[in-house]
Amino acid sequence: MELTKQEESILNGEHGDVLERQMRLLVRLGEIYNADKMIPVGSVQVAGVSYKSIGDPGLDFLEDIASKGGKVRVLTYLNPAGMDMKDWKELGFPKDFAEKQIRIMRAFGDMGINTTATCTPYLAGNLPRFREHIAWSESSAVSFANSVIGARTNREGGPSALASALLGVTPNYGLHLEENRKATIRINVNTELKTSSDFGALGYWAGKHAKNGIPFFKGIRDANTDELKFLGAAMAASGAVALYHVSGLTPEADSQVGGGLETFDFGDKEKKETYETLNTGQNPDIAILGCPHASIREIAYVASLLEGKRLGKPLWICTSRAMKQLADNLGYTLKIRKAGGRIVADTCMVVSPIEEMGYKRTGVNSGKAANYLPGFCKQEVIFRDVEKLVEELLV
Amino acid sequence: MKGRMISPGKVEGEAIVSSEPIGFYGGIDAKTGTVIEKGHPLEGKNVKGKILVFPSGKGSTVGSYVIYGLKKNGVAPKAIVNRETETIVATGVILAGIPCVDHIEIDGIKTGDKIVVDADNGEVNHA
């Protein structure tokens, strides 16, 4: 790899032990993947934030960097934490868990990181431009940034993203290079997609076929950013899809598709079968929306469904602190609260210890959540669109 | 045997060899260094102070932090030797400062062999 004089001097330890190891990490990753050089990044999003995921070793690691004065050089956001950082007590999160989680957030904050903990940073103030190089971690955010915005990022591990934040660069390989962004399989969509869960079902099914490839979708007539978010999130969970193209809708779709691709058809039958696969239970004892974190449009929709209604079981909508505050200001939080629901900020069901909080059957509208909840949180899953889930929970 | 330096350092020690990949998250206990993955060839064995030899890493990226935790808790292997070091292990050994060499034909190493890992020069040899 060609390094600049400045990068060489960091690697030689002239800027201290913390930066030396961070640079060694990025150089080695670059060599493993045949990068030619480092490139500057416009922003970073760091995974490995929940205490449930990183445990004491991760906490020690972060406190070590923070205590040695490590500071980030670019706009850096975090992935969701393991709990709501304000309302954790009221929501029933365990105290010993909370104490560790608070220390993790403090360490990140000391490094100069914007501790907005969200899997949808692009809705909360970290919005890259078309073709901007970034270093993001969270698989659904990586997918959205690459596919819907047309920014360029590999799927970074927590430590490599943090290294990019501390150094302001990332090795130039993979999806940073134009030639690696071409579609590898084609999916013809021959069924109507009406709800967020329909897009999640398509994503789950497509991820199984695409694995770590780049799907090109034909036949999706329209989709808003929320729906594309659900599509990408499910593909990144059931497969390892970091980039997809949708004919007519995403910015690189026309330039990155060639002929002769292996082709699959997603019709009524495939949609129905996917719903059957993802539904592993019935009669939810909680429903959790906001995987990935809800937009203000989704929150407004739920508030409208709940107006004048009463929930018999808990309903959580997970979102970023920024969207929660907007919902507070616009009166949505209160409407949802009056019906017995909650807006939960900073966390999500996949990284929070819901199985320890007594829940066994969770209703979701997200293909990603439906993919992960059985394994990560030992939940039976009820996979439906938002309207049907809300109906099931009403008194 | 000549390979590639992943993380620098030079140590001598006793090899513990796995024919299967190792996933550190859920695979090795960061507090004790004991292999806990059910059905793994090294299940129940301890990696502390050994030269840990295996083909490559696997599993969750959180594994990098487990490698760091092993070092922090004083139960890390002295060095790691791989056929191919992927990003999870590379990240872990670099952050933890554990010497590591890859591109080594590990079939030539048996558990109990005394070996020297000279990661600075990318070399692994029998003592």
Query: pLDDT tens across A251-275, in order?
Result: 999 999 988 999 999 999 999 999 9
Burial A255-286 (b: 16+ CB within 10 A, else e): ebbeeebeebebeeebbeebbebbeebeebbb
Q: Among the listed ranges A34-43, A216-225, A238-247, A328-337, which one has the minimum average pLDDT value?
A: A238-247
**CB atoms near residue A96 (< 10 Å):** 8
Supply the DSSP symbol for A126: -
The predicted pLDDT at position A91 comes to 83
d(CA A187, CA A234): 15
Q: Among the listed ranges A54-58, A362-366, B6-10, B30-34, which one has the minimum average pLDDT value?
A: A54-58
ipTM > 0.85 for the complex: no
Nearest residue in chain A measured CA to CA from B26: A53
Q: Cα separations (Å) of B10 from A20, B5, B15, B98?
A: 19, 11, 14, 10
pLDDT band at A342 (very low <50, low <70, confident <90, very high): very high
**Structural domain ending residue among the three candidates A178, A203, A238:** A178
pLDDT band at A350 (very low <50, low <70, confident <90, very high): confident
Nearest residue in chain B measured CA to CA from A52: B62
The predicted pLDDT at position A282 comes to 92
* The pLDDT of residue B60 is above 80: no
The predicted pLDDT at position B10 comes to 97
Residue range A175-186: average pLDDT?
A: 97
| Dihedral sign from CA coordinates of A188, A192, A196, A198 | negative
Pair A307, A387 in one domain: yes
Question: Mutation test of the interface with chain A: which of B4, B94, B101, B103, choosing the one with the most A Cβ atoms within 10 A?
Answer: B94
Pair A104, A251 in one domain: no
Q: Give B127: exposed, middle or buried? Use CB within 10 Å, 0-12, 13-18, 19+.
A: exposed
Nearest neighbour of B66 by CB, restricted to A28, A32, A57: A57
Pair A125, A80 in one domain: yes
Q: Do A29 and B68 make contact, defined as CB atoms within 8 angstroms?
A: no
The predicted pLDDT at position A123 comes to 98
Residue range A380-392: average pLDDT?
A: 96
Q: Do A28 and B90 make contact, defined as CB atoms within 8 angstroms?
A: yes
The predicted pLDDT at position A67 comes to 97
Residue range B64-82: average pLDDT?
A: 94
Count CB pairs under 8 A between chains A and B.
67
Count of domains in chain A? 3
A92 versus A190: the higher-pLDDT residue is A190
The count of residues in chain A is: 395
The predicted pLDDT at position A373 comes to 87
Average pLDDT, chain A: 95
* The pLDDT of residue B62 is above 80: no
Sheet arrangement for strand A43-46 = A75-78, A43-46, A135-136
Interface of A with B (CB under 8 A): 21, 24-25, 28-29, 32, 47-48, 53-58, 60-61, 157-160
Average pLDDT, chain B: 92
Residue range B31-53: average pLDDT?
A: 93
Residue A27 C-alpha, separation from nearest chain B C-alpha, in angstroms: 10
Contacts of B6 in chain A (CB under 8 A): 28
Count of domains in chain B? 1
CA-nearest of A123, A98, A48 to A320 is A123
Domain containing residue B69: CATH number: 3.50.30.10
The predicted pLDDT at position A52 comes to 83
The predicted pLDDT at position A124 comes to 97
CA-nearest of A32, A150, A85, A145 to A321 is A85
Q: Do A158 and B62 make contact, defined as CB atoms within 8 angstroms?
A: yes
Interface of B with A (CB under 8 A): 6-7, 30, 61-62, 64-66, 68-70, 72-73, 85-88, 90-91, 94-95, 97
Pair A151, A10 in one domain: yes
Q: Do A29 and B69 make contact, defined as CB atoms within 8 angstroms?
A: no
What letter represents residue A37's amino acid? K
Nearest residue in chain A measured CA to CA from B62: A54
The predicted pLDDT at position A287 comes to 95
Q: Please, are residues A235 and A143 in contact by the beta-carbon 8 Å criterion?
A: yes
Q: Do B94 and A21 make contact, defined as CB atoms within 8 angstroms?
A: yes
The predicted pLDDT at position B71 comes to 94
The predicted pLDDT at position A25 comes to 93
Residue A207 C-alpha, separation from nearest chain B C-alpha, in angstroms: 18
The predicted pLDDT at position B57 comes to 86
pLDDT > 90 in chain A, percent: 85
Pair A165, A231 in one domain: no
The predicted pLDDT at position A118 comes to 97
Question: Which tens digit of pLDDT belongs to each residue from B79-113?
Answer: 999 998 888 899 999 989 999 999 999 999 999 99
* The pLDDT of residue A349 is above 80: no
Question: Which tens digit of pLDDT belongs to each residue from A65-79?
Answer: 999 999 999 999 999
CA-nearest of A38, A11, A6, A231 to A135 is A38
* Phi/psi at A93 (5° precision): -75, 140
Question: Mutation test of the interface with chain A: which of B29, B65, B68, B120, choosing the one with the most A Cβ atoms within 10 A?
Answer: B65
Pair A152, A206 in one domain: no
Residue B50 C-alpha, separation from nearest chain A C-alpha, in angstroms: 20
Question: Which tens digit of pLDDT belongs to each residue from A318-338?
Answer: 999 999 999 999 999 999 999
Pair A167, A25 in one domain: yes
Question: Which tens digit of pLDDT belongs to each residue from A282-318?
Answer: 999 999 999 999 999 999 999 999 999 999 999 999 9
d(CA A175, CA A152): 6
Residue B93 C-alpha, separation from nearest chain A C-alpha, in angstroms: 9
Q: Do A157 and B88 make contact, defined as CB atoms within 8 angstroms?
A: yes
Residue at token pair 């990003």: B87
The predicted pLDDT at position A395 comes to 86
Active site residues of B: 60
Residue B14 C-alpha, separation from nearest chain A C-alpha, in angstroms: 26
Contacts of B76 in chain A (CB under 8 A): none
Structural domain span for residue B27: 4-126
The predicted pLDDT at position A372 comes to 85
Pair A167, A202 in one domain: no
CA-nearest of A181, A126, A124, A123 to A152 is A181
Structural domain span for residue A78: 5-178
Q: Do B91 and A157 make contact, defined as CB atoms within 8 angstroms?
A: yes
The predicted pLDDT at position A32 comes to 82
d(CA A257, CA B100): 41
- Two structure tokens written together for B1: 């045997």
A28 versus A128: the higher-pLDDT residue is A128
pLDDT band at B23 (very low <50, low <70, confident <90, very high): confident
Domain containing residue A384: CATH number: 3.30.499.10
CA-nearest of A78, A101, A98, A96 to A88 is A98
- Two structure tokens written together for B16: 């513990």
* The pLDDT of residue A136 is above 90: yes
Query: Whole-model pTM?
Result: 0.89
* The pLDDT of residue A45 is above 90: yes
* The pLDDT of residue A280 is above 90: yes
Nearest neighbour of A29 by CB, restricted to B30, B66, B87: B87
Pair A349, A371 in one domain: yes
Q: Do A28 and B7 make contact, defined as CB atoms within 8 angstroms?
A: yes
The predicted pLDDT at position A239 comes to 87
Q: Do A60 and B72 make contact, defined as CB atoms within 8 angstroms?
A: yes
Pair A362, A375 in one domain: yes
* The pLDDT of residue A348 is above 90: no
Contacts of A29 in chain B (CB under 8 A): 87, 90-91
Supply the DSSP symbol for B107: G
Residue range A15-28: average pLDDT?
A: 93
Contacts of A157 in chain B (CB under 8 A): 61, 64, 87-88, 91
